[in-house]
């Protein structure tokens, strides 16, 4: 079957949080399908513990056509790549296993994507952080006044939830960092830099919100910060190429 969108969700050790997360994503799938879009849901269980696996596989809202992948890659980047390999949609959306989205998140991303051509990647407009601390921020549109190419050397202006044509992920797959052994981290930041270097514009899907759970423990980003990891060298900052 051909899908408009493949949604790749990675799970690890979310436990009962996986239940609410799946509920949120499935509600958004229903809204998109009510608007005539076909949505494929791919659930990647990367070294998932028994509790998380149980909540996902027995979720009452699953209808049986979801793709559930048992993986043991031990890395968020490689788990996303594994999900993309099973995707049949024209577009792919990446999500994490303990976050939430607004109900028309998928619908609005697809509608926005159909208004664009060329090389682009979409991000949710609003990020609401909750858990360890509460905050919100508006993400940056590369065509807007607040974008600076040079700022990507210091900050990652976009979270890991992205939406793009499937071919983008095939051209530029995620790269595993393993900060504990390499000193490199932030695979999504690195992917944002590499896609920007390849000529993709990072744009905003209007009226979309991502609810980002800030964990007290177990966060890969927080672990990378504690290790003082740095982003791998990106060709975005290759002076000769930038010319």
Confidence of residue 239 (pLDDT cuts 50, 70, 90): low
pTM metric for this prediction: 0.91
Given pLDDT bands bounded at 50, 70 and 90, which one contains residue 234?
confident
What whole-number distance in Å separates Cα of residue 121 and Cα of residue 100? 20
Averaged pLDDT of the chain: 91
Give whole-number Cα distances, 122 to 3, 29, 216, in Å: 18, 18, 28
pLDDT digits (tens, 9 = 90+) for 7-62: 999 999 999 999 999 999 999 999 999 999 999 999 999 999 999 999 999 999 99
The least confident of 7-11, 68-72, 148-152, 189-193 is 148-152
**Which residues have a Cβ under 8 Å from the Cβ of 64 and sit 6 or more positions away?**
none
Q: Which helix (H) or strand (E) holds 192?
A: helix 187-197
Query: Which of 151, 130, 135, 134 has the alpha carbon at shortest distance from 202?
Result: 151
Q: Decide which of 222 and 99 is more confident.
A: 99
Q: What's the CATH number of domain 3-242, 3.40.50.620, 3.90.550.10, 3.20.20.10, 3.40.50.720? A: 3.90.550.10
Is residue 243 pLDDT above 70, yes or no?
no
Would you place residue 242 in the very low, low, confident or very high pLDDT band (cuts 50, 70, 90)? very low
pLDDT level of residue 65 (50, 70, 90 thresholds)? very high
8 A C-beta contact, residue 212 and residue 128: yes
Q: Residue 198 CA to chain centroid, in angstroms?
A: 19
- Per residue in 168-203, pLDDT (tens digit) is 999 999 998 766 555 666 899 999 999 999 999 999
Query: What average pLDDT does range 61-69 have in this prediction?
Result: 97
Predicted local distance difference test score (pLDDT) of residue 83: 98
Q: Percent of the chain, pLDDT > 90?
A: 79
CA angle 108, 113, 153 (to 5 degrees): 100
Q: What angle do CA 105, 192, 24 make, to 5 degrees?
A: 20
Confidence tier at 1 by pLDDT (50, 70, 90) = confident
pLDDT of residue 22: 98
Task: Assess whether pLDDT exceeds 50 at residue 118.
Answer: yes
What confidence score (pLDDT) does residue 50 get? 97
């Amino acid at each position: 079957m051909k899908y408009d969108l493949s949604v790749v969700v990675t799970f690890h050790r979310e436990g009962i949080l996986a239940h609410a997360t799946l509920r949120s994503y499935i509600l958004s799938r229903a809204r998109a399908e009510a608007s005539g879009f076909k949505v494929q849901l791919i659930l990647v269980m990367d070294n998932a513990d028994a509790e998380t696996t149980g909540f996902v596989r027995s979720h009452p809202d699953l209808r049986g056509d979801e793709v559930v992948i048992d993986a043991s890659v031990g890395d968020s980047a490689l788990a996303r790549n594994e999900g993309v390999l099973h995707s049949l949609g024209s577009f792919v959306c990446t999500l994490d296993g303990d976050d939430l989205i607004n109900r028309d998140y998928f619908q609005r991303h697809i509608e926005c994507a159909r208004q664009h051509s060329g090389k682009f990647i979409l991000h949710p407009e609003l990020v609401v952080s909750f858990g360890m601390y509460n905050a919100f921020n508006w993400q940056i549109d590369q065509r807007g006044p607040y974008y600076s190419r040079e700022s990507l050397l210091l900050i990652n202006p976009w979270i890991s939830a992205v939406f793009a044509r499937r071919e983008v992920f095939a051209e530029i797959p995620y790269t595993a960092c393993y900060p504990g052994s390499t000193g490199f981290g932030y695979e999504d930041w690195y992917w944002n830099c590499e896609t920007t270097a390849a000529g993709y514009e990072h744009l905003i899907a209007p009226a979309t919100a991502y609810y980002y759970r800030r964990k007290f423990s177990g966060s890969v980003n927080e672990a990378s910060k504690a290790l003082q990891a740095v982003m791998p060298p990106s060709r975005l900052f290759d002076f000769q190429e930038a010319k």
